[in-house]
Amino acid sequence: MALSIGSDKNALQPRYRRLLGVGALLDESVRLFREHWRTFAATSAIALVPGGVLNVGLGLAGAAVGTQPALATSLVTQPTALLVAGAGGAVLVFIAVNLIFSVLWTAAVTGTTDSYLRAARPSIRGVYGLALRRLPRLIGAGLLVSLGLALLTLLSVVLVAVTLGILGMLIAAIGLLVWWLKPTARRTWLKWLIVLTAPFGLPTYVGVRWSMFVPAIIVEDVGALRSIGRSGELVQGEWFRAASVLGVASLIVGVLVSAPAYLIDIPLGVLSLARTDLGTTLAQAALRNAVAVAAQILFASIGTIAYTLLFVDLRNRREGTDLAERLAQLEAPLPARPCGPDLTHL
């Protein structure tokens, strides 16, 4: 079935029209993953396997160089300019490939989640077709967000130096306590006092405000620059909820993805003490990277599911999108009924 994002034909399911707290939103994300984990795993594999193969290849190359003194020596004797150019080119290719496939993966899982929220049946071809059509906007918005956060991080370094670090933390802590314990004292100046005095509070605050740009592009089909503004509109007044959902979801995914890799490191560490030949080292590197990729394929989509569901919930809270969809369904014209006597019972 063709993918249909955000159309009136596929309005939100009733269970997603209610407002969800942080715990309920995370529960719904895990429930949705458990019900459709095969689809999410297949969708993830399309984009994560190429990057994973590249990572495995680089790991094998690094292990080979590290265990072959002659090869390492021959590389060192090469002209410095050639080594720098080769290493720089490899790094750029690696970053570009991983960036493109990571963006495609996030967009595809976002589209898959949105389809399930609307009781539609997504297809891998449909969600990746949508992701490819909107890839330029996604990359453009991602670059704008990355550049903006980089500049804000540099500004935060200056602010930390001005506030002497500890003094800034103390001011931010007092401000947070006032904000939490005395809601009537919540003012714009107090918010910005907390943001500017907390160590790296500025990029953290703005990063959450801008975090919803991917579902804005996928679900609402807006432009790159507009998606960042749209994200800020939805997160305004809901920053702590958004930060909590994103933080807890990232923690869950981090544990699920890293645990298998740590478990495989234990026997590999014992084996490396017993044998240090090149074949064993290469096999260990390949196995470690393969396990990490497999864990990402299986579990990483949970975070994007929560991310998409948060976007939908923010729209429901701020704009009553669920109510608008209900009204659209009620106002839709009824199908025409045939005139004349009903003869179906004959």
The domain locations on the chain are 22-322
- Residue 275 CA from chain centroid, whole number: 39
Q: Which of 49-63, 194-208, 323-337 has the lowest mean pLDDT?
A: 323-337
In which residue are the tokens 């930060």 written? Answer: 243
Give the mean pLDDT of the chain: 81
User: How does residue 221 score in pLDDT terms, banded at 50, 70 and 90?
Assistant: very high
Instruction: Give pLDDT tens digits for 7-34.
Output: 445 688 878 888 888 999 999 999 999 9
CB-based contact 75:31 (threshold 8 Å): no
Mean per-residue pLDDT, 251-271? 79
pLDDT above 50: residue 5:
no
Mean per-residue pLDDT, 330-344? 53
Q: Give the per-residue pLDDT at 263.
A: 77
Q: Give the per-residue pLDDT at 14.
A: 79
Give exposure, 286-318, as e/b (b: 16+ Cβ within 10 Å): eebbbbbbbbbbbbbbbbbbbbbbbbbbbbbbe
Mean per-residue pLDDT, 235-247? 93
Q: Give the per-residue pLDDT at 129.
A: 94
Most confident segment among 54-58, 182-186, 240-244: 240-244
Q: Give the per-residue pLDDT at 84.
A: 57
Mean per-residue pLDDT, 197-209? 92
Q: Give the per-residue pLDDT at 46.
A: 92
pLDDT above 50: residue 81:
yes
CA distance 227 to 209: 11
CB-based contact 57:114 (threshold 8 Å): no
> Which whole-number Å values give the CA distances from 73 to 45, 68, 82, 89, in the listed order?
38, 9, 15, 21
User: How does residue 346 score in pLDDT terms, banded at 50, 70 and 90?
Assistant: very low
pLDDT above 70: residue 274:
no
CA distance 309 to 110: 9
User: How does residue 208 score in pLDDT terms, banded at 50, 70 and 90?
Assistant: very high
User: How does residue 243 score in pLDDT terms, banded at 50, 70 and 90?
Assistant: very high
User: How does residue 223 score in pLDDT terms, banded at 50, 70 and 90?
Assistant: very high
Q: Give the per-residue pLDDT at 117.
A: 92
CA distance 259 to 272: 20
Q: Which of 89-103, 201-215, 270-284, 290-304 has the lowest mean pLDDT?
A: 270-284
Q: Give the per-residue pLDDT at 99.
A: 86
CA distance 84 to 206: 35
Q: Give the per-residue pLDDT at 15.
A: 80
pLDDT above 60: residue 191:
yes
Q: What is the pTM of this model?
A: 0.79
**Farthest-apart Cα atoms in the chain, separation:** 94
pLDDT above 70: residue 149:
yes
Instruction: Give pLDDT tens digits for 47-63.
Output: 988 877 776 666 555 55
How many beta carbons lie within 10 A of that of residue 252, not counting itself?
Answer: 17
Contacting residues for 181 by C-beta, under 8 A, at least 6 apart: none
Contacting residues for 43 by C-beta, under 8 A, at least 6 apart: 105, 108, 109, 112, 122, 124, 127, 128, 301
Q: Give the per-residue pLDDT at 56.
A: 63
> Which whole-number Å values give the CA distances from 45 to 123, 282, 302, in the listed order?
14, 24, 14
Mean per-residue pLDDT, 58-79? 53
Contacting residues for 318 by C-beta, under 8 A, at least 6 apart: 233, 234, 236, 237, 238
Name the more confident of 147 and 60.
147
Mean per-residue pLDDT, 193-211? 92
